[in-house]
């Protein structure tokens, strides 16, 4: 989601620095590339469940059918709309043939339950990504800086705004709490491993925490810890 926003807002500035304004692609192609990037990554994420479950027999015909449909649409559309047709055919076959087929196989063979709830969540996240892209791009357009400095500034602005929107929209969802618990378990495990490997430093961490509590106060220290957790959680949407 965040990477899609960054791709939409930073693709043209990067190409302008690299090959010049005359060799840049049209903005419609950039939008199509972003859609392809998003659909491709969602498809890869769903495929992970299939690979982990070893669902090979039930899913053996899907890749072949999707490939043939993609090839056929490529050969047809490339004569009419060029590069845009190649990207569009890949998006259509992946989004309307491959992914629905894969989701059906997963929920009938492995999960054995209705996929309606999952589809609604997918629609929610897709709509959220569209809103994030529109807002971040609208802000990015008003940044007049150019060159490397402008590219870096735009990247920071897009990354920050996209994460704020994503966290604000998903803060009360069960997935957010599950992700938070997972991160806390990982941090706790790493901390315990570091204390076991460096026992002479455990007293130092305890003394440092006590000093910070006295200087900042317990409430301020808790606030800082919560802010640090929010920063850690804000990096998760970038992976997806």
Q: Could you tell me the pTM of the whole model?
A: 0.74
What SS3 class is residue 82?
Answer: coil
Q: Name the nearest CA neighbour of 235 among 156, 182, 159, 181.
A: 159
Average pLDDT, the chain: 80
Q: In the predicted model, what is the mean pLDDT of residues 37-57? A: 88
Whether 140 contacts 154, CB under 8 Å: yes
The mean per-residue pLDDT over the stretch 77-87 comes to 87
Q: Which of 23-27, 123-127, 191-195 has the lowest mean pLDDT?
A: 191-195
Residue 205: is its pLDDT beyond 60?
Answer: no
Q: pLDDT grade, residue 132 (50/70/90)?
A: very high
Q: Work out the number of other CB atoms within 10 angstroms of the CB of residue 39.
A: 19
Residues in contact with 172: Cβ distance below 8 Å, sequence separation at least 6, in sequence order: none
- Per-residue pLDDT reduced to its tens digit, 140-171: 888 888 888 989 999 999 999 998 998 888 87
The lowest-confidence range among 43-52, 172-181, 188-197 is: 188-197
* Count of other CB atoms within 10 angstroms of residue 123: 10
Rounded to whole angstroms, the Cα distance separating 59 from 20 reads 45
User: Once rounded to an integer, what is the mean pLDDT over residues 92-102?
Assistant: 92
Please tell me which residue, 48 or 235, carries the higher pLDDT value: 48
């Amino acid at each position: 989601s965040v990477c899609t926003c960054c791709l939409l807002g930073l693709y043209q500035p990067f190409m302008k620095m690299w090959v010049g304004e005359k060799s840049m692609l049209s903005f419609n192609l950039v939008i199509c590339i972003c859609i392809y990037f998003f659909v491709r990554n969602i498809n890869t994420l769903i495929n992970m469940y299939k690979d982990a479950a070893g669902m090979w027999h039930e899913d053996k015909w899907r890749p072949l059918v999707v490939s043939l449909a993609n090839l056929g649409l490529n050969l047809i559309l490339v004569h009419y709309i060029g590069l845009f047709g190649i990207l569009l055919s890949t998006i259509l076959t992946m989004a309307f043939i491959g992914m629905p087929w894969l989701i059906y196989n997963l929920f009938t063979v492995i999960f054995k339950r209705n996929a309606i709830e999952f589809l609604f969540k997918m629609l929610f996240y897709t709509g959220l990504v569209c809103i994030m892209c529109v807002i971040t791009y609208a802000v990015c357009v008003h940044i007049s800086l150019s060159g490397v400095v402008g590219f870096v500034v735009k990247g920071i602005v897009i990354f920050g705004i996209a994460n704020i929107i994503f966290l604000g929209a998903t803060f009360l969802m069960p997935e957010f709490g599950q992700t938070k618990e997972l991160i806390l378990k990982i941090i706790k495990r790493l901390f315990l491993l570091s204390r076991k490997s460096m026992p002479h430093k455990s007293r130092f961490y305890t003394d440092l925490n006590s000093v910070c509590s006295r200087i900042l106060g317990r409430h301020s220290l808790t606030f800082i810890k919560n802010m640090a957790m929010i920063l850690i959680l804000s990096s998760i949407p970038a992976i997806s």
